[in-house]
Amino acid sequence: MKNILVVISLLVTAVAVMASASRTQANPEDAAVRQVVQHYLHGLKHNDVESLKKAFYPEAKLLFVKKDGQLGQLTQEQWYKGFAASAGKEEAGDLSITAVDITANAASVKVEEVYDTSKYTDYLSLLKLNGDWKIVNKIYTAEPVKRK
């Protein structure tokens, strides 16, 4: 009986590993999309505009809801100016990719950035243009971090 349980356990583990590998192989673009988003995360973490520029299409827009409930919008150049005062300074925070969805030459990536006093959730839209993935749109929201 003990041997049967061991064999079943090994089979379940093997199936789970194969299913995970199959999902990765099912979309070989996953690594390329994640690499672009890593440039984005590095740019945020280190206030590195050049890294951000590697990730974004030049005319990409950043959209958010303003405090008055209206649509807010920034161009890339407007957004980059906000990094000038802290250029090269590492931010204290945890940044991570929480979801990736890819269909053909379009992708959507959810990112969470948790800092001491706020949490940002970004939804990034990427397109594969001339063989390269680029972020073409970003919508985001910010929430205060609740202390326990």
Q: What is the pLDDT of residues 21-70, one digit of tens each?
A: 444 456 789 999 999 999 999 999 999 999 999 999 999 999 999 999 99
Find the mean pLDDT for residues 90-111: 96
Distance CA 110, CA 108 (A): 7
- Mean pLDDT across the stretch 119-124? 97
Q: How far is CA 91 from the centre of its chain?
A: 17
Which phi and psi (to 5°) does residue 102 adopt?
A: -125, 135
What is the radius of gyration, based on Cα positions, of the chain?
19
pTM of this prediction exceeds 0.85: no
| pLDDT of 15 higher than 80 | no
29 touches 102 (CB < 8 A): yes
